[in-house]
Structure 1
Amino acid sequence: MEQKTDTTQLLRALSNQMADAVERIGSALVLVNGRQRQPASGIIYASDLVLTADHVLEREEDLTIQTNDGRTLPAQFVGRDLATDLAVLRVADLGNAVAVAADEPARVGQLTLAVGRAPGDGPMASVGIISTVGGPLRTGRGVALERYIRTDAIPYPGFSGGPLIDTQGAVIGVLTTGLVNGVALAIPFAIAKNIAETLTKQGYIKRGYLGISSQLVHLPAVQRAGRSQEAGLLIIKVDEHSPAQGGGVLVGDILVGLDGHAISDAEDLQLLLAGDRVGKTIPVEVIRGNSLQTLQVTIGQRN
Structure 2
Amino acid sequence: MMNTYERDAQALDAYSHAVTQAAERVGPAVVRIDIERGDGRAGRRSSPSGFGGGGLGSGFIFASDGQILTNAHVVEHARRIHVTLADGRTFDAGLVGSDPTVDVAVLRIGADHLPVVELGRAPLKVGQLVIAVGNPYGLNWTVTAGVVSALGRTLEAPGVHKMTNLIQTDTPINPGNSGGPLVDSAGRVVGITTAMMPMAQGLGFSVPLDTVKVVVAKLAQKREMAFVGVTMGVGGMRVKIDEALQRTLKITQQFGMEVMEIRPGGPADRAELKRLDIIISANGEAVKEPRDLQRIVRRHQSGAQIPVQFLRGGRLRKVTVLV
TM-score band, normalised by the shorter chain? 0.5 to 0.7
- Structure 2 residue 37 is the aligned partner of structure 1 residue 20: no
Matched, 1:76 2:94: yes
Q: For the Cα contact (< 8 Å) 1:139–1:179, is it kept in 2? A: no
| CA offsets 1:217-266 (integer angstroms, 9 cap, x no match) | xxxxxxxxxxxxxxxxxxxxxxxxxxxxxxxxxxxxxxxxxxxxxxxxxx
Q: Which amino acid aligns with 1:43?
A: F
For 1:8, the aligned partner's letter is: A
- 1:101 partner letter: L
Q: Which moved more, 1:178-187 or 1:149-158?
A: 178-187
Report the equivalent of 1:106.
Answer: 124
State the match for 2:58 in structure 1.
Answer: 41
Is residue 153–residue 168 contact of structure 2 (8 Å, CA) maintained in 1? no
Name the CA distance, whole Å, in 2 between partners of 1:28 and 1:43.
Answer: 5
The answer as to whether partners of 2:136 and 2:174 remain within 8 angstroms in 1 is no
Equivalent residue of 1:104, what SS?
coil
Counting aligned pairs with the same residue, the percent is: 33
In structure 2, C-alpha distance between the alignment counterparts of 1:142 and 1:159, rounded to whole Å? 18
- Which string of whole-angstrom CA distances, capped at 9 and with x for unpartnered residues, describes residues 80-122 of structure 1? 1111111110112143221111231111111111221358754
DSSP 3-state at the match of 2:73? helix
Any stretches of 5+ residues in structure 2 without a counterpart? Answer: 37-42, 46-55, 224-261, 265-323
TM superposition score normalised by structure 2: 0.56
Structure 2 residue aligned with 1:2: 2
Given the superposition, is the C-alpha separation of residues 67 and 119 from structure 1 closer, same or farther in structure 2, using an over 3 Å criterion?
farther
- Post-superposition shift, 1:202? 2.8
1:109 is paired with a residue whose SS is coil
TM-score (norm 1): 0.60
Distance 1:16 1:55 in 2: 33
| Alignment pair present for 1:189 and 2:206 | no
Within 5 A, what are the aligned runs for 1:52-201?
52-117=70-135, 121-134=139-152, 147-177=165-195, 184-201=204-221
Aligned in 2, Cα 1:57/1:194: closer, same or farther, shift over 3 Å? same
Match of 1:292 in 2: none
Show the 5 A alignment for 1:243-282.
none
Are the equivalent residues in 1 in contact too, given 2:136–2:173 (CA < 8 A)? no
CA contact (8 A) 1:32 1:65 kept: yes
Instruction: Measure the CA separation in 1 of the matches of 2:157 and 2:136.
Output: 27
Structure 1 range deviating more: 87-96 or 132-141: 132-141
Q: Is the 8 A contact 1:139 1:180 kept in 2?
A: no
Pairwise CA distance, 1:154: 0.9
Query: Whose Rg is larger?
Result: 1
CA change 1:177–1:137 in 2 (3 A) is closer
Indicate how the Cα distance of structure 1 residues 57 and 180 shifts in structure 2: closer, same or farther if over 3 A, else same. Answer: farther
Contact 1:85 / 1:179 at 8 angstroms: preserved in 2? no
Residue 282 of structure 2 corresponds to which residue in structure 1?
A: none
Q: Deviations over 1:172-194 (max 9, x none)?
A: 11111299999732111122022
Tell me the SS of whatever aligns to 1:112.
Answer: strand
Task: Please identify, of 55-64 and 80-89, the stretch whose mean Cα deviation from structure 2 is larger.
Answer: 55-64
